[in-house]
Each structure stands twice: as structure tokens, then as C-alpha cells.
Amino acid sequence: MRIAVDAMGGDFGASPLVEGALWALKEKDFSLVLIGDEKILAPLIPAQVSKEVKIVHCDDFIAMDDSATAALKRKESSIYVAMEMLKSKQVDAVVSAGHSGATMSLATLKIGRLKGISRPAICTLMPRIDGNKSLVIDAGANVDCKPENLFEFGVMGYEYAKWILKYPNARIGLLTNGEEECKGNETSKAAFELLKTHPNFLGNIEGNNIFDSSVEVVVCDGFVGNVVLKTSEGVADSIVYLLKKYIKASPISLFGALFLKGVFKKLKKQIDYAEYGGAPLLGIDGNVIICHGNSNAKAMKNAIFQAIVTIENGINDKILESLEKYKD
């Protein structure tokens, strides 16, 4: 199994990405391919593991402030080379913490979509009160969607939840402004009718149901999904900040916090994005994991683990098999 890592595009440079990739290599059996500037990457690899890591040199990379379409023309950039390697089957998956728009554009245009999928979608994991995770799809790839796109998201999300998250009977909910069937806009109402054909479709859900264990798969367009994602991250960061602030406000609070250290550790693990790694781009004819731009070593390690599990479970084949059931 060969995993390519775009090691150049992250907010904090190559160091945490390489560190996370090497960490993953210690714990899992796979072939690691780092793509980027060899002068930067080579010194980050310890001599004892250098023979286990292949570096594919690239002079260029897509910065966060570049346009997504720029990646299509810059054939020497690290993410372009990574997608070319995936297309030619030189690697089995690509993991990138770089420009997400560039990654999505190249994956769609260079790798192509799965048969029966009109638009690929990003799925991301959210914490639930029962300690498990819910899957939100789409989390930012498609800001405008047609009803059939949302239906496809539901099918892809269900298969991912079933085979990767190991929910044998994952429930699907359509995120709208109310639980009643009459709620939503024209697109979501039409999508509701399509999703009703899926045996695991529960109906419309509201934002709080993402976290209360009502469903395992949350379907929405990329505009709503990305707002949900960024809002949730902001709320989590704010809660952690306020807890620290109030705990440090008095000696009594500090003393009491010592007894809650284990609780805080569990809470941090539940809401820390690094524990989830990255977001799979479902619907393309390949395996691509998109990471947060500010990913640390742990996030990169877990993103690679996510890529490995996706490959091992043949998620694209499962999606294709499921779509066959809904052909006209």
C-alpha cells in the first residue's frame, strides 16, 4: 500500500507533516511517498528510516492564498504531481494539508468521478454525546447543490459510515431548518423525496441532532456543511478557552481542576480535530484525504490511518454497488 503525502502546502510548513507521516510509518505497514522540495524534506527524515521513505522532488507548491484554478496550470506543484501519481496508479492514496480547493479541483478533473456520481463531496466527522461520531457530508466542496447531489451524498455517506465507521445500520438525516417534512427550501424538499427511497433515511433533522446521536449521517450542501464545521470548531475552541480562563481565576478552581484532569483529557480527545485526521473526498475514482491547513503531526498521522482504512475497505466499490440499486 502506497500513500503519497503533499508535504509542502500546510500552514506550518513541512516539518509537522513529515513528523506525522513518519509517526504513522512506525505504527502501520505501508510505503510512504513524500512530495515536495527535497532540500527541505530530506533533512527532516532520520537516517535510520530514510530507506523506507521515497521523496518525489517538486520545486513548486500551491500556497493558501493562491486560487484553486491556478493548480490546474502549475504542473510542477506538489499537489499536481501527487494527483498525477494517483491517476497513474503509482500510489493508492493522496493525503494533503495544502490548498483544499486546489486538491478538490485536481482530484475531480485529473482522477475523475465515480460512475453515477455527479459531484464529489467532503465528509467530516463530528463528536456526539454518546462518544461516537456523526458524519457530515458535504463539508465544503459544493456550495450550490441539486436534489440529486444531496441524494448521492446520502448514499456515499451511508456506505462510509457502514464500512469505515462500522455503523451497520447508519441513520441518514437531511439537515434543514426544522424536522417537519414541509420544512426546508425547494432543493431540500426535492432531495427529501429522493432520500425517502433509501431504507435508512430518517427524515429532516436540525443542527442539534448532529451531536445528540439521532443520526449517523448528516446530509447538506457544502455551504451549510462548512458553516456547521467552522462554527463547531469555534464553539469548541471558545469552550476550552473559557474553561482555562475561569479555572485560572482562583486557587480554589485550580485545585478543583486537578481532580477533573482525566475528564478534561477525555473532552479534549473528543473535540480535537487532530483525533479525526482529515476529511475524505468521496465520489472520485481514487482515495484522497483533505486535512486542515493547520494540521499538526497527530492530525497527519491519523489522516494517513484514515487513508489506509479507506483503501482496505474498498469504499469506492461499496459506493458503486450501492448506486446500482437506485438506477432508473
As a 3-state breakdown, the chain gives helix, strand, coil percent values, each rounded to 5, of 50, 15, 35
Burial code (b: 16+ CB inside 10 Å, e: under 16) for 148-167 equals: ebbbbbbbbbbbbbbbbbeb
Supply the pLDDT for residue 240: 86
The pLDDT of residue 292 is 84
74-130 confidence digits (pLDDT tens): 888 999 999 999 999 999 999 998 888 889 999 999 999 999 999 999 999 999 999
Rounded to 5 degrees, φ, ψ at 193 are -65, -40
Residues with Cβ within 8 Å of 16's Cβ and at least 6 positions away in sequence, in order, are 10, 295, 296, 297, 300
Q: Could you name the CATH architecture of 1-117+283-314?
A: 3-Layer(aba) Sandwich (3.40)
**Which pLDDT score, from 0 to 100, does residue 190 have?**
96
- Structure confidence at residue 325 (pLDDT): 86
**Which residue ranges in the chain fall short of pLDDT 70?**
328
Would you state the pLDDT for residue 277? 81
**Three cell numbers at 74?**
502549475
CB 141 within 8 A of CB 171: no
Are both 1-117+283-314 and 121-275 of the same fold?
A: yes
Q: How far apart are the first and last CA of the chain?
A: 36
- Third-level CATH fold of 121-275: Isopropylmalate Dehydrogenase (3.40.718)
Q: Give the three-class secondary structure for 191.
A: helix
Domain range list for the chain: 1-117+283-314, 121-275
Residue 170 has φ and ψ, to the nearest 5°, of: -60, 135
Q: What's the residue count for the chain? A: 328
User: Is residue 57 within 8 Å of residue 253, measured between CB atoms?
Assistant: no
pLDDT at 69: 81
